[in-house]
Structure 1
Amino acid sequence: MVKAGLAIPFDLAVLGAVAAAVVVQALEPEVPPIEALTEIEFEEPLRIFAANGALMAEFGVQRRRAVAIDEIPPLLIEAFISAEDSRFFTHDGIDAIGLTRAALSVAKSGEATQGGSTITMQVARNFFLTREKTIKRKLIEIMLAWKLEARLSKDEILSLYLNKIFFGHRAYGVAAAAEFYYQKSLAQLTVAEMAMLAGLPKAPSANNPLSNPERARERRDYILERMHRFGYIDDTDFLLASTAPLSAQRYLPAIELRAGYLAEMARQAVVERYGQEDAYRLGLRVYTTVDAGLQRASDAALRKGLRAYNRRHGYHGPEARVEHVGAKTDEALDALLAERPRVPGLPVGIVLSASAARAEVYLGQGETHDLELAQVKWARRFRSENARGRTPRRVTDAVAVGDVIRLRQTEDGAWRLAQVPKVGGALVALAPEDGAIRALSGGYAFEWSKFNRAVDAKRQPGSTFKPFVYAAALDKGYTPASLVRDERFELPSAGGVWRPKNADGKFMGPIRIRVALTKSRNLAVVNLVDRMSVDDAREYIQHFGFAPETIPRDLSMALGSGSVTPLELARGFSVFANGGYRVQPYLIERIEDAQGQRLFEAQPLRACMTCWIDADVDSARVLPIGASDDPRAPLAIDPRIAYNIDSMLKDVIRSGTATRARRLKREDIAGKTGTTNESRDSWFAGYQPQLTAVAWVGRDDNSPLGRGEWGGTAALGIWIDFMEEALADLPVATIKRPEGMVPVRISLHSGEATPSRSGSRIEYIRDEYRLMTLGPDPVRYSRQEETPRRTAPRMLDELF
């Protein structure tokens, strides 16, 4: 009887074991090797920093590298144990009670609605498997869990779990979740916050405190009850935590320097180097050459200049219109405002009411401001680049109910009507020593327009190109004293006859090259290139880094009819700033991985600045680790030519077309204005020996800027405002005269050597040309060719 009674259960047990063995044997090939766990890389976003370590941008998913188990507070671990697997420390990877509950659920419903997974099983699933609810996947999950328990300690399994689990909003790992939802480290979390995080892995969307706060609170309180029941928290902690308000807020990177154009340039460079996938997951830290103070000054100067242009040419009207404003709730208006681009310093608003005396503007979140006539009086309607409407006499002449507008707060705290300028602009600043990009603004605001005009806008440089042409002439044997003909010029062309002209429509006759460059005389430079040959000039100008295809093969090249970007022009002017060396602009100083190991470090070619300027002997220059003055950048032009051009470009500011810059009260600044036909482009390119800066203003569609918008108007003002900040702490630099130059007293009229002190000046001439100051193809001066009496206002000569 005993034997008969035990036979059936024993037989069933044997058959079950055999069946289990068969299943295990069949599934074994599909079970992944757990050795791959040691190769898991925990992802971090790509971060871009300024030279001083200020965070500029963060790209990629919100993931962080693993934190060690001893960095995780014990109470936080207990919160997860309470929420996910209360018997974690006593089972061997499989919780029989939980699996039985899941099996009963399947039997009742016919579907796998409950998983019965332990933390170990979740690690197995999250690292190796999908989340599909099938019997086969569950069996493989169980087999993996056994392997994990056999190979790893409980702490190691917990570490993998807490660093891998998904918490919603692209946050993986408990450290990432703490930062995303609470902007805290793990050690700073409260009991309530720990319970909230512990409640997320089961249903990251449904239990999310940002998208579903009530459901999240219920889940939090449930976990707090379990923590209290298991003795992890006492009565007081439980009461305080369960009554604590929800405090989760969406993570926003702590951006310390907003420089969207530069951050995007760095991002693109990193993606090109490391690929789309690795760039965003390896936790790369990219340190740029950007000076945070100069970048803020660059943005401020460009925005100020573009706003000033905007005021000169009128108000373009609202950005959009909202119908039936009065019937909309604040929440509805907030949603409409959220759709508009965020523009620094120009918050967007909707006009709620408007009368002759006042308009009420809603800025979101219940905030409103009033506009009175004084705050909108500037807003004469834009008619064309040369015409504006009448000055508003009533507030309703400028704004109407439903208008979506921009406001700007003035220094005295008042608000005034504003708008994002319709005109484009750029400013770029380089270190002439090695080409490091110190500041770059590619438009009014990256958030408004992603088009980076500093590096992508190919525009005609106009008269800013003339210094390169004159440098080519000096290389041919001309000197600053050589005479050039500022007189009528005609050239047959396919379209008829090309007749260039000066800005004032007049001629000065034979004038010295110094005068021609300082006064920006168009006909003088055209006549000069005609004498020295276009091909020779083009070949020499390429020494400055300009590509051959950007320099036209005709005489119009002398007037800047080619195409360059502001960054390319800055590189060219840096040759004059550093004494003749061609440097290559670069943005990324170094790249580190998540552990701080250096993966890349720039090794720029450097100009010999000690050969060019007198440095303070008491100040030592500290170079970055691994950097040196060698290798030397290639010498693009003879330093003596750089010295002559630098001298003449200083005269542009002293007495030429950029006298406005004298307000900086610096003797070491030099530069050149530039304007193209119909004032489509306004340029100023200038430098101090330690900083080259180029400012440009123009319309993206290449339409005219309007009357009076010369290089000495729009662009020069931006450059001055920037350099006023940039040069504040830089001592005045003294240029060293290169060897092989001799002083020659020359006549201001004939350009020839003269002993007379009257009507003469000292020019420094290259030694080999000291006896031929008029150059290889001399223009002779005669008194019959004296400059005619001025009939136009002096201002006309100063526009170009």
Structure 2
Amino acid sequence: MAVKVKIGGNSRTGAQHSLGVRILRVALIACSALLLLFFSVFGYYYFKYQKIVDDRLNAGPMFTNTSQVFAAPREVRPGQKLSAGTIGQELRQAGYNNNPQMGTYQLRGDTILIKPGPQSFHSTDGATITTEDGEVQSITAENGVALRGYELEPLLITGLSEDKNRIKRRLVSYKDIPQRMVQSVTAIEDRQFFEHGGINYARTIKCGVQDLLSGRKACGGSTLTQQLARGFFLTPEKHIKRKLIEILISFQLEARFSKQQIFEMYANQINLGQRGSFAINGFGEAAQAYFGKDLKQLDLAECAMLAGMIQRPNYFSPYKHPERAMERRNIVLDSMVETNAITKSEAERAKAEPIRLAPPNVDASEAPYFVDVVHDTLVQRIGDQELSHQSLRIYTSLDPDLQRAASEAVAIGMQNVDEMVRKQHRGNGPITWPQVSLVALNPHTGQVLAMVGGRNYGVSQLNHATSKRPTGSIFKPFVYAAAYNASVNGQTIGDKGIFTATTMLDDEPTTFTFDNGRQTYTPRNYKDEFHGSVTAIYALAHSLNNATISLGQMVGFENVAALGRQAGIAAARGTPAVSLGAYDATPLDMAGAYTIFANNGVHLNPWTLASVRNLNGDIVADFAPEARQVLDPRVAALSTSLMEGVMNFGYGYETRKRGFMAPAAGKTGTSHDAWFAGYTSNLICIVWVGNDDYTDVKLAGALAAAPIWAEFMNRAIKLPQYSDMKAFSYPDGVIMERLDKNTNLLSDSSCPNAYSAAFLAGTEPHNTCSHMGDDQRNFFQKMLGIGGQTQSQENQQPPAGNEPGASPNPAAVHSGPPPNPGAQPNPGSSPNPVVEEPKKKKNFFQKIFGGGDKKQQQPTQPQQ
């Protein structure tokens, strides 16, 4: 019997199965389409940003080649207070032993053997320096010849800023980065850096969820590769699109570079705060900025501190917030323990270490105003393109020790200035705080040894050392030098005869005419006090305006201006106001101008650049200083003698009150600004204080600028290279005499209260104070009936106070009311008397022309 089977129920099941297959097929097709779309979009953007990366990498080096700026080499001389160990430390700081191409040294007790390498600034000639008890005993060349001096390798000051964004970095390679630095960064920023492919997916998802829930974009889920991609290729704002682009670029970087190369790029790119007006980028620059060390020299605690700053550089700045910086550093150390990079005991020892920072004064350590001048000079000399496309080694004139002394002196001195300004403005509205500059030169080479261009480079990059201002009374010595110029040529001035230190000048109210009588000029003295007839040495020491202008008129205002222009004061013009420094010059110009007094009449243009080399040590450019004879050496010596009087019994005595007692010459200056110009046998220093808005600072040079000068010189004389400040030497034809302060005749035992003054041989007084009534004329004067006998004239000494101000307006000179500096020392009672030189015999012509005054006078000038 046949059996029939009914299958109606199975048809429904089959249909359901068929539907499921169709749905699955559609889903697979949809997923495939989505995947295809995803990979198409991903591929499009991947290759798009691959091109962006290619373009960026092919445009040139990832980081601009930064030229390095070096100081002048330190010269070691026998007798200096230096130990072999200290010399070794300086050579190591210059790269010796770390980089044999630069040079090597061997320290053997108190002896050090030095051998420069092929990349050294010097030739490869070495030397052996022997010291004992911290003092250099001898220096011997490799061939056994004794040397009087040996120059060490110049030290690195800083690198030039890379671009208009004022970024500084010191490029380092991966092998230069301490392992502790790598470990500290990865421990706190990216623990799986050496394992992942550029993205830490788990961390990224976690941060994404946290940001979504909190509504903030604050979670730091980026790897080091992502941070590099963001910092190098993208803007810092946070949004989803940028995050996706960041991931794509990270893939590109991971595909192209090894982990070590990526970390090296990261180490050079990362921002680590601000120093002055410069951004600190990279661990190399940060090590120098915060610790004053090479990156290789950082210890564990210092590496941890820099790693901790990555998250928020300014928030964790050790200068501004040391507690925060230390707390963050310790968190990094704990993280390093967790990653087994260090032991817990190592972490505890590092935590116990205090933060030892380099001095925060960027002006002292990096001389930014000076470096700006160097940069501008380089652009003029070798061009901007060559400068920006090469890694150059730039050797300069700077002395780092003296630069530090200058910055510290300015910082201390401006506190005093601020206090005086605060007292002036008590209850009188807003205060204008003065600015400042200081320039120091070697008077015999012209090299700029130190430069401070303002109070704070981070606040203002305007370099006041190269900004023009009316020079005020520091120009007055050029008037007296012009008068001495006439003397050495045998010329008389007006009716005064041959000009000498004791020539009588008229300090009386006078209206001067110039420009062929079309203009008049009526200068004034401080408090409108005039002093009658005064000696030239007294007039300059007390900065008497009318006496100086009357001398300028007798010499010829154009002659005075011409001398100023020869000395580098290009704006000087032949008007009465030129005698009071009414025309503009920069402090750097004035430092150069004073070389004619300090350098036997030879003018030296101040210079900052010595040589430019490439990384192989090949010379790109060398620079020679420009020099020219402007004054007869005798005129320079005679002018110096007058300015010694300024220091020893004039307004410059403020420097003596501040403790600087070495032989020196100088001049105060007060116009709308305060100046002090002074020099010793081995240093010229110019200090300027004034307001940026050209308003009257209402402070005398003796009170505002001279104390800064004294503070600087007191620090300079303690440095081995400047400790031998000697008495000024005088050339043949100039003699030094001791004069009685009451009669201005030669001093003898009956009138021992005396002062020193220099004379052109043959023009000095001939009688002593005890024979003042005798006829002083020489044979020819008596025969020709010229040169009267000495007449006594009393002169009232001006009251103690600061010099009168000289207005920059050529039509009117007036003085402000500077405060009283205290009791003025008596002329002649010098706290630092000049050593009297043996009196030189006069030759035949000097005997004939030595006293050729028509009305030679040696008047009395009693003290009040």
Of 472, 483, 486, which residue of structure 2 is paired with 1:470?
483
Is it true that 1:39 corresponds to 2:61 in the alignment?
yes
CA deviation vs aligned residue, 1:459-495 (integer Å, no higher than 9, x gap): 4217444323324534764279716674578546589
Task: Indicate which of 430, 438, 460 corresponds to 2:472.
Answer: 460
* Cα pair distance change 1:111/1:256, threshold 3 Å: closer
Deviations 1:500-546 (A, max 9, x none): 789762236xx8x8898789887666555445543344234321212
Equivalent residue of 2:470, what SS?
coil
C-alpha distance in 2 between matches for 1:273 and 1:282: 13
Which residue of the partner structure matches residue 642 of structure 1? 636
Contact 2:663 2:727 (C-alpha < 8 Å) held by counterparts: no
Do residues 794 (structure 1) and 807 (structure 2) align? no
Q: How does 1:530-541 map to 2 (within 5 A)?
A: 530-541=553-564
What is the 5 A alignment of 1:381-396?
Answer: none
Contact 2:441 / 2:450 at 8 angstroms: preserved in 1?
yes
Alpha-carbon distance in 2 for matches of 1:309, 1:132 = 43
Q: Secondary structure at the match of 1:634?
A: strand
CA 1:657 to 1:752, structure 2 compared with 1: closer, same or farther past 3 Å? farther
**Which residue identity is paired with 2:260?**
D
Partner of 1:29: 48
* Match among 33, 37, 43 for residue 19 of structure 1: 37
For residue 575 of structure 1, report the CA deviation from its aligned partner: 0.4
Give the aligned residue type for 2:41: V
1:729 is matched with which residue?
724
Alignment CA distance shift 1:765-1:143 (3 Å): farther
Contact 1:748 1:759 in 2 (8 A): no
Match of 2:627 among 633, 640, 647: 633
Contact 1:261 1:440 in 2 (8 A): no
Opposite residue 679 of structure 2, the aligned amino acid is Y
Distance 1:161 1:516 in 2: 66
Aligned 8 A contact 1:747 1:759 in 2: no
Q: What number of residue pairs does the alignment pair up?
A: 638
Of the three residues 594, 597, 615, the one matched with 1:573 is 594
Q: How does 1:297-446 map to 2 (within 5 A)?
A: 428-439=439-450
Task: Give distance in 2, aligned partners of 1:563 and 1:225.
Answer: 64
Q: 1:766 to 1:46 in 2, by over 3 A?
A: farther
Contact 1:45 1:64 in 2 (8 A): no
CA–CA separation in structure 2 for the residues paired with 1:747 and 1:55: 55
The answer to whether residue 678 in structure 2 is matched with residue 603 in structure 1 is no
SS in 2 for 1:582: strand
Contact 1:744–1:753 (CA under 8 A) maintained in structure 2: no
Mapped partners of 1:286, 1:691: distance in 2:
21
Could you tell me the percent identity over the aligned residues? 21
In structure 1, which of residues 277, 289, 292 is the aligned counterpart of residue 398 of structure 2?
Answer: 289
Q: Do the aligned partners of residues 159 and 516 (structure 1) sit closer, same or farther apart at CA in structure 2, a change above 3 Å counting? A: closer
- In 2, distance between residues paired with 1:122 and 1:482? 79
- Once residues 261 and 79 of structure 1 are traced to their aligned partners in structure 2, the CA distance between those partners, rounded to angstroms, is 27
* Structure 2 Cα separation of the partners of residues 212 and 667 of structure 1: 47
SS in 2 for 1:690: coil
- Matched residues in 1 for 2:366 and 2:358: separation? 17
SS at match of 1:39: coil
Query: Are 1:555 and 2:576 an aligned pair?
Result: yes
Per-residue CA deviation, residues 42-74 of structure 1 (Å, 9 max, x unaligned), is 798998968767898998657552441574528
**SS of match in other structure, 1:507:** strand
Partners of 2:273 and 2:317 within 8 A in 1? yes
Structure 2 counterparts to residues 718-757 of structure 1, below 5 A: 726=717, 728-732=723-727, 734-737=729-732, 744=762, 748=766, 754=779
Shift of 1:11: 5.2
1:301-325 alpha-carbon deviations (Å, 9 max, x no partner): 99579959989x996798999xxxx
- Alignment equivalent of 1:545, drawn from 556, 568, 575: 568
Superposition map of 1:128-143 within 5 A: 128-130=233-235
- Counterpart Cα distance in 1 of 2:411 and 2:266: 50
- Aligned residue number for residue 498 of structure 2: 482
Structure 1 pair 269–762 and aligned structure 2 pair: CA distance change class (3 A)? same
Q: Is the 8 A contact 2:316 2:328 kept in 1?
A: yes
Q: Deviation at 1:441?
A: 6.6
Checking the alignment, whether the CA contact within 8 Å between 2:211 and 2:218 is kept in structure 1 is yes
Paired residue for 2:798? none
CA separation of 1:444 and 1:54: change in aligned 2, threshold 3 A: farther
Secondary structure in 2 matching 1:637: coil
Aligned 8 A contact 1:121 1:141 in 2: yes
Q: Deviations over 1:636-673 (max 9, x none)?
A: 23445435544665677789887999999999956465
- State the shift of 1:26 in Å: 3.4
In 2, the alpha carbon distance for the partners of 1:654 and 1:99 equals 75
> Judging changes above 3 Å, is the alpha-carbon distance between structure 1 residues 543 and 14 closer, same or farther for their aligned structure 2 residues?
same
Contact 2:157 2:366 in 1 (8 A): no
Query: What's 2:232 paired with?
Result: 127
Between the aligned partners of 2:25 and 2:34, the Cα distance in structure 1 is 14
If the length of structure 1 is used for normalisation, what is the TM-score? 0.56
Q: How does 1:94-133 map to 2 (within 5 A)?
A: 120=225, 123-130=228-235
Aligned to 2:131: none
Give secondary structure in 2 for the equivalent of 1:737.
coil
Match of 1:461, SS?
helix
Match runs of 1:42-53 below 5 Å: none
Task: Choose which of 248, 261, 269 in structure 2 pairs with 1:156.
Answer: 261
Q: Structure 2: how far apart are the matches of 1:192 and 1:647?
A: 55
Distance apart, 1:283 and its partner CA: 11
Aligned residue identity for 2:623? Q
- d(CA) in 2 for partners of 1:538, 1:655: 28
Match of 1:407 in 2: none
- State the Cα distance separating 1:569 from its structure 2 match: 3.7
Is the 1:649–1:672 contact (alpha carbons within 8 Å) kept by the matching residues of 2?
Answer: yes
Amino acid at match of 1:544: A
Q: 566-575 or 164-173: which moved more?
A: 164-173
CA contact (8 A) 1:747 1:753 kept: no
Counterpart of 1:151 in structure 2: which amino acid?
R
Alignment gaps of 5+ in structure 1: 322-419, 606-631, 796-800
> Which residues of 2 match residues 632-671 of structure 1 at below 5 A?
633-646=627-640, 669=663, 671=665
2:531 to 486, 489, 505: 505
Distance in 1 (alpha carbons) for counterparts of 2:656 and 2:193: 79
Q: 1:695 to 1:248 in 2, by over 3 A?
A: closer
> Which of the numbers 684, 693, 702 marks the counterpart of 1:692?
684
Q: Secondary structure at the match of 1:794?
A: coil
Structure with more contact order per residue of length (Cα contacts < 8 Å, sep ≥ 6) = 1
What are the superposed Cα offsets for residues 66-122 of structure 1, whole Å, 9 maximum, x if unpaired?
Answer: 44157452894597389647485375x567777888999999999999998765555
Q: Is the CA contact (8 Å cut-off) linking 1:289 and 1:589 kept in structure 2?
A: no
**What is the deviation of 1:19?**
3.2
Structure 2 counterparts to residues 577-592 of structure 1, below 5 A = 577-587=598-608
CA contact (8 A) 2:567 2:596 kept: yes
Q: Is the 8 A contact 2:68 2:393 kept in 1?
A: yes
Give the distance between the partners of 2:505 and 2:316, measured in 1 at CA.
Answer: 79
Is 2:540–2:646's contact at 8 Å kept on the other side of the alignment? yes
Matching residue's letter, 2:533: F
Q: Provide, for residues 600-623 of structure 1, a one-character-per-residue CA deviation record: whole Å limited to 9, x for no partner.
A: 877352xxxxxxxxxxxxxxxxxx
Give the AA of the match of 1:40.
M
The answer on whether the counterparts of 2:647 and 2:664 sit within 8 Å (CA) in structure 1 is: yes
Compared CA separation, residues 178 and 762, structure 1 to 2 (3 A): closer
RMSD: 6.9
